[in-house]
Amino acid sequence: MAGDSLQKATFAGGCFWCMVSPFDEQPGIHQVISGYTGGHTENPTYEEVCSNTTGHLEAVQITFNPEIFSYDRLLELFWAQIDPTDPGGQFHDRGESYQTAIFCHNQEQKEKAEASKKALEESGRFSKPIVTEIREASVFYPAEQYHQDYYRKNPLHYKAYRKGSGREDFINKNWSDVNG
């Protein structure tokens, strides 16, 4: 059964609205959920996470079939959505909740994440250090329903936000070879 081979990957890349669409319609991706992880508060709300008092990061949790879309490809796509050199958040979203991280669900994911980070550091693509953390996966809390699939529910606002935040221009400048 295909469901037996499904795995989870969890990535924090700043605003979770912008982290769903790149993964959502790829072959082998079964689900992408926006949520919160890495903190100490149970069942945090969006407002609590944005207050930077819960320790949580906005993140996406991806359910995928590694036989169709490998974890290595997920990592490559993740890196190409972020500024991995920014310790203070992503683009105009500032604060702990918008920092970047890879949350590993097992040892194999940890090894692959570390190898991909090292390869990016050694690539010379960025002159500043790569600050994205690699952490052990912890409890993932789905975000409120209005945050789920935001890019589909509110396409005009989503596009304006992605452009206005500086994310789109950064990606086009730094990752066009990966994102096509």
pLDDT (0 to 100) of residue 58: 97
CATH superfamily of domain region 2-175: Peptide methionine sulphoxide reductase MsrA (3.30.1060.10)
Domain assignments of the chain as residue spans, ordered by start: 2-175
Q: Is 15 a catalytic residue?
A: yes
Q: What is the pLDDT of residues 88-126, one digit of tens each?
A: 999 999 999 999 999 999 999 999 999 999 999 999 999
Q: Residue 143 is encoded by which pair of tokens?
A: 């975000």
Vertex 111: Cα angle to 108 and 113 (nearest 5):
105
Asked whether the predicted pLDDT for residue 23 surpasses 50, the reply is: yes
Vertex 13: Cα angle to 77 and 110 (nearest 5):
65
Catalytic residue among 15, 18, 50, 104: 15
What number of CA atoms fall less than 13 Å from residue 73's CA on the CB side?
14
pTM above 0.85, yes or no: yes
Compute how many other C-beta atoms are within 10 angstroms of the C-beta atom of residue 150. 20
Place 1 in a pLDDT band, splitting at 50, 70 and 90. very low
Supply the mean pLDDT for the chain: 94
CA distance 177 to 173: 9
